[in-house]
Structure 1
Amino acid sequence: MQDSPDLGDRGGAVCVVGAGASGLTAIKNLRELGFAVDCYERETSVGGAWNWRHDRSPVYAGTHLISSRPLTEFPDFPMPDTWPDYPHHSQVLEYLERYAKHFALGEHIWYGMEVKSIVPAGDGRWDVTIQSTGGGSSRVQRYAAVVIANGHNWSPVVPEIPGDFTGQVIHASAYKEPSRLRGRRVLVVGGGNTGCDIAVEAAQHATRVWHSTRRGYWYFPKYLGNRPADQVYHRRTSTWLRDRRFRRTAADLTRWGVPAPDHAPLESHPIVNGLLPHYLGHGRIEAVPDVTRYDGASVELSDGRRIEPELVITATGYRPRFDFLAPELLDIDADGRPDLHLHAFVRKHPTLAVVGLVQPSAGLFPLAHWQSVAVARWLRLRATDPEKAAAVQKEESQRPLASWSRRKVVPTPRHWFEVDHVDYLKAVESLLTRMESAK
């Protein structure tokens, strides 16, 4: 790595926070529009959540994509055709490393540097305080704009379960390999994709597995016939037709004690797991209701039953965190939810944006790519023609929420950033068209 950048004013440069998938595509698309970019990454390599050597990575040894390769890859950098439909996490990391090398992004990344604060400096500019993760003094750099790409799957949500448990309790973020499951009685708490994946892995290694879910979800296979299911679901069709496809192909797990969903398929994040019905049907996973209390070696369930696991894994999700920003800058409410147009553009600060803060029904990378294209073009338009940029911003601010976000979702933090893959891309395309016509 070259020497640290000069202290002080970086002129028209843009600061990018994080060198995971979203940060990398932000660097690339900003550079393609001529911006100087400094990206600060607290770790010593790229990859973000997909680099399981990173302290904050939620990835474990058996992690694979749950969206298929064509719906996950960046549109301008395809994954190798020889790779499987659902690549392993090590291949995803290799892909991101190749992406960074191909577009020569490394020369714009400052590794081992953590952003400590971002504050307005007037005129739409920002003072960014950075510090080496190894310690030492901090420094302040001034930027024309800031793009935040620090991810939202690294700060675990730990459930508050009353009582004391004499066994072991870990969050899914601390689970890394199946050796800690082998020969043990395991309770997995959480009905999302991670919880289902770990329950399936436990079924192959543990002596007994309970899977606790609070509510019902829609469960879908990874394949329909010989095709990845998401390639069938996400054709450019109406929302009504996609809803119908989801309903026709979802697995009914209620016969094994899994709660029935109380919402439509498109109102929650899809659970993609073809092996969960298999292991439920073979008795290797036992579905149980919500956990209400710990009592020594026992766990009490909401139906009054008691079970005695040795290990409890809470796959209860993550919360977005922006510790380096005052909450009012992102209009963050009391629950911790930011208010962003397209989940990307900060309404009151047009030179501050977030990339990758979406929960799509298919792969994230294409959405992060087009988000960062839109951010880069917006910043360029604002610099070259402020009046037209203001007109676009005014028009966009009047766009109804339902045009780019799910009209109805399960009211939980897990679904704050839920978007339909196709509908969201259409909304971003519309914004790009408006900016193009504004020139």
Structure 2
Amino acid sequence: MRVVVVGAGPAGLVATKTLLQSRSEDFPFDPILLEQEGDIGGTFRYRSYENATLVSSKQLTSFSDFRLPLDHPDHLTLEQYVDYLRAYCKHFGITNRIHLEHKVVNISRNPDGGHDVSFVTKLPSGDWDLVPQTIHAAYVALCTGLHVIPSFPTIPGIEHVLNRDNHASGPVPAAYHSAEYKSRAELAGRRVMILGTGETGMDLAYEAAKAGAKEVVLCTRSGFLSFPKALNDFEILGVPFKSDRAGVPIDTLITNLAETAYVHPWVAAARIRWFVSDFVLRGVLWFLTGTQAGCNQWVGELEPERLGRAYVFLNKSHKAMPYINRPYKSRPAILEYMSKYIDSPEDMPPHTNFAVDLAPFPTHFLPNGRAVFPSLKRKDAIRMAKRDVRPDLVIYATGYTQEFSFLDKAGGYATPGEADVRNIVKEGDESVGFIGFVRPGVGAIPPIAEMQSMFWISLLKGQVRKPLPPPHYHLLVKETARIKYGVDHGAYMSTLARDIGAAPGLYELWRAHGTHVLVCYIFGAAFTTFYRLLGPYRSPMAPEIVKTEIWDTITRRGWAGNLIMGVIPMVFYLCLNGLVLCVEVILTLGGALQTR
């Protein structure tokens, strides 16, 4: 059963490894991975830049059965993560399955069944061989990633932005996509405008400030929700509450019981737990930082109807916020004494008046290079309305788009947006799997790709429960939204786990692995390792990983953190789910009596 995997990023690597480990007499999977670049790693290797680190923690991002030592930093650099992927390939013996500089140019239906995958190879000259080769495959896993082809919004007059040919690092273009950015040297001494306030845009604003840019203007379409990737230090009534390490990664703080496990379908469908947690969180944020827009975020607020985990991708690149806040932060001294958030020392700006200016997206540029901003009632728009902004460098941090030109149009292939079975396959065409094409609001794509791989393989083997219950894991978006592939990490992971019989029951888990593992499962986040404790993908390594590394993430919260973020929410949600269950039972009994 030949399986062609396209793309050697994390999704392609974990799909290949999972296929190999899932081989059986009835399903002798024979995966081969084709990658057009000269190395593995995908976006983490080829769209990386100086000082870039993962905003998801190593605890969540690492694959279920190949972990990093506890003494490694919580958030890896991109180079460290690519090294981790190389070690993963070597450890599981998949390196000989990977064919680099093999570019897929066409995938078509074979009349006798399966797919014909045509590819070209790179010649020693660096050119692509014009004569394609073809492999016949029973199945195809598309793992080409969300962040490959840059997206460029149209801004009239951008050609008027002047180029500086005398820059210290050599000729630097006046406008380019963040995918091309590599180092701080490109930003020093420039008047920089960054379009987009995603995590890359925030990173670049910070890098420009640190590089000594003359001016930094960060443009946002409609705002953002900012949180640090790790909770740092707070002061309450002058008493500091400091973490022993460099903060607690926020993606390890969400608990499992009654948040993702044992959630009544009615509660899941209504997203009640998301809205309740947002309500509580806004109150905590106001008390600790003085603002509800985000963690110590004083500008760039989202509209109230989009503020919360049900709607947006959390922006965990928080380093630029001290610069952005500077013109806007206003809090009475008495409240600042009562409680305040302390930025990481390395993220604090020097004691000057330099600030990163937040602004709306420019509507156009004038012939003299001046940016024209729209008239809005937002704080940043009012402040920037009369500013004369003439950047000599514009960076598009505007995200990516996906193209699948290699899929034969006559074959009727779906795209990831049309994959209606758990966002992985199109119903009726299960032989083509889309792995790694959803993005979590808080979380990471690589562990999701691992869970998707297990689901897809179970689907091919006929081991997925039928019928599938409705999906209640998508982030809520408008019909006109550009990005519709957002999911809640925990809800999506636990849904796939239940679909394939990998989500453990509490009593079953306690009998198999004891109290320690059970407590970890209850208090831990939706780590993929939890779904390998029992079920079809059971791993002998999982219990030890849970009792060491995952236990460490729980104990680092401290007793107060586990009480506030663990016990109290769990008791509330358990009561809520129990109440809804009672209502369901009463309604069911009432209906049964009426039919007699």
- The correspondence of residues 174-185 of structure 1 with structure 2, limited to 5 A, is 174-185=180-191
Amino acid at match of 1:216: G
Rate the CA distance shift 1:140–1:374 in 2: closer, same or farther, 3 A.
same
Distance in 2 (alpha carbons) for counterparts of 1:17 and 1:365: 15
Residue 213 (1) aligns with residue 220 (2): yes
Q: Secondary structure at the match of 1:37?
A: strand
Q: Does 1:315 align with 2:397?
A: yes
Partner in structure 2 of residue 74 of structure 1: 63
Equivalent AA in structure 2 for residue 271 of structure 1? N
RMSD: 2.5
Partner of 2:490: 422
Partner of 2:372: 300
The one-letter amino acid paired with 2:495 is: A
Instruction: Classify the secondary structure of the residue corresponding to 2:400.
Output: coil
Q: Tell me how far 1:318 sits from its aligned partner.
A: 0.3
Structure 2: gaps spanning 5 or more residues? 24-28, 163-173, 233-246, 260-272, 286-291, 327-353, 376-384, 504-534, 537-596
Structure 1 residues 273 and 428: alpha-carbon distance in aligned structure 2, compared to 1, 3 A threshold: same
Which among 296, 312, 334 is matched to residue 268 of structure 1? 312
Contiguous gaps of at least 5 residues in structure 1: 1-11, 52-56, 383-388
Matches within 5 A, 1:236-251: 236=257, 237=259, 238-244=273-279, 246-247=281-282, 248-249=284-285, 251=293
Shift of 1:21: 0.4
The amino acid that maps onto 2:459 is W
- Using the TM superposition, give the Cα deviation of residue 340 of structure 1 relative to its aligned residue in structure 2, in angstroms: 3.5
Could you tell me which amino acid in structure 1 is paired with residue 366 of structure 2? Answer: D
Q: Partner of 1:4 in structure 2? A: none
Following the alignment from structure 2 to structure 1, what is the Cα–Cα distance between the partners of residues 216 and 295?
A: 16
- Structure 1 contact 184–310 (Cα < 8 Å) conserved: yes
* Distance (whole Å) between structure 2 residues aligned to residue 330 and residue 417 of structure 1: 19
- Of structures 1 and 2, the larger Rg is shown by 2
Post-superposition CA distance 1:148-183 (Å, at most 9, x none)? 111110101101001232321111111111101001
CA contact (8 A) 1:234 1:422 kept: no
Q: 1:258 maps to what in 2?
A: 300
Distance apart, 1:404 and its partner CA: 3.4
For residues 330-409 of structure 1, the aligned pairs below 5 Å read 330-332=413-415, 337-360=417-440, 361-379=442-460, 381-382=461-462, 392=464, 395-396=467-468, 399-401=469-471, 403-406=472-475, 408-409=476-477
Measure how far apart 1:14 and its partner are.
0.7
CA contact (8 A) 2:228 2:295 kept: no
Letter in 2 for 1:93: V
**CA positional deviation for 1:125:** 0.7
* Residue 36 (str. 1) matches residue 30 (str. 2): yes
Q: TM-score, normalised by structure 2?
A: 0.64
1:340 and 1:122 map into 2 onto residues whose CA distance is 25
Give % identity.
28
Pairing 1:152–2:129 present: no
**TM-score after normalising by structure 1:** 0.85
Count of aligned positions: 405
User: Is contact 1:233-1:245 (8 Å) kept?
Assistant: no
User: Which of 91, 100, 103 pairs up with 1:114?
Assistant: 103
1:431 to 499, 503, 507: 499
Deviation of 1:325 (Å)? 1.1
1:240-296 CA deviation, whole Å, 9 max, x = no partner?
Answer: 454346534465599865244341312011111332321123442011112100223
Against the structure 1 CA distance between its residues 37 and 254, is the aligned structure 2 distance closer, same or farther, given a 3 Å change threshold?
closer
Code of the residue aligned with 2:488 in structure 1: it is D
SS in 2 for 1:287: strand
| Partner Cα distance (1:337, 1:194) in 2 | 24
- Deviation of 1:359 (Å): 0.4
Kept in 2: contact 1:217–1:261 (CA 8 A): no
Find the residue that maps to 1:202 and give its secondary structure.
helix
Q: 1:411 to 1:284 in 2, by over 3 A?
A: farther
Please identify, of 14-23 and 133-142, the stretch whose mean Cα deviation from structure 2 is larger.
133-142
Deviation at 1:32, TM superposition (A): 0.7
Equivalent position SS for 1:291: coil
Q: Secondary structure at the match of 1:220?
A: coil
1:42 and 1:111 in contact (8 A); partners too: yes
More off after superposition, 128-137 vs 84-93: 128-137
What secondary structure does 1:211 align onto?
Answer: strand
**3-state SS in 2 of match to 1:30:** helix
Q: Which amino acid aligns with 2:104?
A: V
Summarize deviations over 1:404-432 as a string: whole Å, max 9, x none. Answer: 323x1355655321111100011111221
Distance 1:337 1:280 in 2: 35
Q: Is the 8 A contact 2:202 2:318 kept in 1?
A: no
Task: Looking at secondary structure, tell me which structure has more helix per residue.
Answer: 2
State the distance in 2 between where 1:255 and 1:88 align: 25
- Superposed displacement of residue 48, structure 1: 1.1
Q: Per the alignment, do residues 221 and 253 of structure 1 end up closer, same or farther by CA in structure 2, a change over 3 Å counting?
A: closer
* Alpha-carbon offset, residue 330 of structure 1: 4.5
1:129 counterpart = 2:199: no
Paired amino acid for 2:209: A
Q: Is the 8 A contact 2:465 2:500 kept in 1?
A: no
More strand by share: 1
- In 2, the alpha carbon distance for the partners of 1:255 and 1:39 equals 44
Do structure 1's residue 165 and structure 2's residue 160 form an aligned pair?
yes
